[in-house]
Structure 1
């Protein structure tokens, strides 16, 4: 009952969000530590790598990889 109430409050207040899973597109891409190509390069993600989209900021998406690391990728590179 308590969990139902908390979930209802979270949904009502806009806190709850649907998880969005995507993948890196047809070719490898560079992941950055900021939403800009001027940011630090974190690593090169291979094509097809699954990611969870945490948020979108302009043309960039902040993603979490399977290891739990957060980084930024251009949204157009996700499928």
Structure 2
């Protein structure tokens, strides 16, 4: 009896983990001044306003609305039309150093302060991701310094 309960519990846990192991969907906000709402309605309470390029994780979508999570873990609703598929990353450390190569010993090209946003240019590899600043400068940043992957 104990063995059957253990097998059932393990099977349930495996189902939960495999269901949550799907790819995360990150999007960015298309324009400045987009409100995030408590519910999927323009008449719902506005929770806060986000700026252009701000990355969010899409949890679910229904009709014209998407339920999203931000870097702080906050959950809100946003009109799906306000989202872009342009991959943007939010700096979550005090300062992200963008380097000439994917190597901690490489020259620092520029830094991005906390809450700064950079565009992701390539998939992460070996703890680094290639990014571009809005002024066009490119380099590599540690994935631990950014959110939105």
Interval of TM-score (by shorter of Structure 1 and Structure 2):
0.7 to 0.9
| 1:73 and 2:78 aligned | yes
- Give TM-score scaled by structure 2 length: 0.44
Higher relative contact order (CA 8 A, sep 6+): 1
Structure 1 consecutive aligned stretches of length 4 or more whose deviation exceeds 4 Å: none
Query: Alignment partner of 1:42: what SS?
Result: strand
CA distance in 1, matches of 2:29, 2:50: 7
Q: Gapped runs of 5+ residues in structure 1? A: none
Please give the root-mean-square deviation of Cα atoms over the aligned residues, in Å. 1.8
Corresponding position of 1:24: 29
- Give TM-score scaled by structure 1 length: 0.80
How far off is 1:28 after superposition? 2.1
CA distance in 2, matches of 1:72, 1:49: 14
Report matched runs for 1:6-21 at 5 Å. 6=14, 9=15, 11=18, 15-16=19-20, 17-21=22-26
